[in-house]
Structure 1
Amino acid sequence: MASASILARLQQRAVMAEKIIAELKGQIDSIKQAAASQAGGVEEVRLKDENEELRKQVDALQVQLILAEVKNGVKQVPMPNKKGLVAPTSKDVIIDKTEPPITSSSAIPVTKNNKASETKKQPKETVYSNNLSTGEPKLKKEKKAAKNEPVEEKMDVSRLDFRIGKITTAEKHPDADSLYVEKVDLGEGKERTVVSGLVKFVPLEKMQDRLAVFMCNLKPAKMRGVLSEAMVMCASTPEKVEILDPPSGSQIGDVVTVKDFPGEPDKQLNPKKKVWESLKPDLRVNSEKVASFRGKPLAVEGKGVVTAPTLSDVQIQ
């Protein structure tokens, strides 16, 4: 609620305004009377123009009074009239450059704690800077990435961790007649346990002390109670399965890659994403018995390609 001093000042201002209006009306009447005696009404038009200019000057003085009060920390309250609360306008008013401009949306500034009220935020301007390399303007504008935008994952053989390992020992699984349990040296400082369903295809003596290609980033899984930590790679048909042969000169821990598909393998494949299941159909032994992915050979750099002993045009798994 307005204080008594503010209301008193408003009343005083209203009285002054009424006096000015009364004087203007009197001048208008005098002008009309004088204009009546002038031929063609030329003097009446001139006097009307002068009267309009006088009205603008009064409006300007009123707005400047408000600015002076605001600058000195006086809270402004809209003046009542017959139409309701109306704020004075600054239309056609020329204000001193040292004073802040008043617009129709902020003609009655309100102060709080002797500070001018916040003005409406202006829209951000686009900022340009010179591109020194081309001389063309370069737009500096922050771009927000779309939330939850799906990112397409690379799906190729580079995600599979193929390495050369040595089967140091192999024995039959104690609880499964079709499975071998092998101990494999992959050059990691400790051996991994690998369970393979090769009993029907590879004699036990040929499982001992041999090099093979292993996929090392499958998630470890139990097979009939024994945790398998890798998979030996084989050329396979329903009737025959052969362990793939590493190239001559291969060493324990050598990495097997496909040159046309560079990249780092996953640390561990996520079973939910079905990476191995998606890539397996593209792993095959070609007509020349060379292990390949989408027609490109699996190889140990500088040593040669991985091959199958006898099978060709078959699946690798």
Structure 2
Amino acid sequence: KDEANALVSLCANLLARVAVLLSPAMPRTCEKIAQTLGFEISTATYEKIILNNEILDFKAQKTQPLFPKIEKELMATAVPSVSEPAKTAPAPQEKSDAKIKIDDFKKCVIKVGTVLECSNIEGSEKLLKFKIDLGEEQPRQILSGIAKFYAPADLVGKQVCVLANLKPAKIFGHISEGMILSAEDGSLCLIAPMAAVKNGSEIG
């Protein structure tokens, strides 16, 4: 028990040193560490634990995780496109209510396509893999995290709206070449035209 307590104390002191040194770059996170361990990030603390290498005693409090958990299938890695698209979408930005100009919207190429195939991704509870006809020479393979809302068999033959000039990404070991658009308000509903249109028809 004494050895275990000593190890926890060592880890707490190391974490305190990290928090003090990183506080200029990550102030909120480091302040949360300091509050949890019960010490103050200050010049006096810096001198004590960094310059003088003193060991402090901590009484830790319960706290929430410092960083949110990132699920494996959401850790997409961008891969180079096989063919250069007609238009290039800007890098994804955090959603906000900021107003944009019509030219910003025109950078997005949104097309209607028909779902030719749809299947679950082995090892993922959220992802579905689609083959979608967007009126191009080859169908697009697109992954979408809507498996909790739709069964694959119910989507085959349906028309959907696709952000078509999104850079391809590798998700869960599969290439995804676009994004299927949907609306969410607790449940989820795919966006589709009210009447059937030609595959590849642009929305705008």
- Please, what TM-score do these two structures have when normalized by structure 2? 0.48
